Amino acid sequence: MSPEKQQFYRHLQRAGLKRTGQRDLIVDIFLHTEDHLSSEDLYRIVKEQDASIGQTTIYRTLKLLVEAGLASEVRFGDGRSRYEPNNKFPHHDHLICTTCNRTIEFYSAESKALLDSIAASRGFHPTQQSIRIFGLCAACAGDSSHDSPPAINKRGVPDVIGVAK
């Protein structure tokens, strides 16, 4: 069993909760994505494996994953929550193209340090920081030295087009 699933079950145990087949399946699938899945996206994928699972269980399990520290909730301005597994990259931020909805992930240690020091100077104790840059990706801005805009994918899920470390 992966260390992430172990962490998940440790969380369940500590909280007096139970291990179930549904949670097993949902967590397995979730941990193997690195998309920014919405609850409904995940629901659709999970249903392919077990058509009897309900939306509600997806919502509840995603909440557990966040509590267990295995997932982060992100919002890109389309009015729905998306989730990303924390096991891929410990923390990263997003450039969000408001035209094609693709996202570019990046991580900047300098920004993080800068923001930490700003928080510290106000006596603030951060638990989470979120940086989002909205705008046009190179393709949508018509920059011909970059890829052309992608067709919107089947699920309407933003594709990740790159990770800048």
Q: Which residues bind DNA (CB under 7 A)?
A: 12, 16-23, 38-40, 52-57, 59-61, 63, 79-81
The option from its own copies, DNA, none interacting with 54 (CB < 5 to 8 A, set by class) reads DNA
The answer to whether 94 and 79 have CB atoms below 8 angstroms apart is: no
Whole-number Å distance between alpha carbons of 132 and 134 = 6
Longest Cα–Cα distance in the chain:
56
Among the listed residues 2, 55, 111, 153, the single contact to its own copies using CB under 8 A: 111
CA 122 to chain centre: 29
The option from DNA, its own copies, none interacting with 56 (CB < 5 to 8 A, set by class) reads DNA
Nearer to its own copies, 52 or 128 (CB): 128
Tokens for 75?
């919002």
Nearer to DNA, 83 or 139 (CB): 83
Report which of 148, 22, 7 is spatially closest to residue 65, judged by C-alpha positions. Answer: 7
Nearer to DNA, 58 or 161 (CB): 58
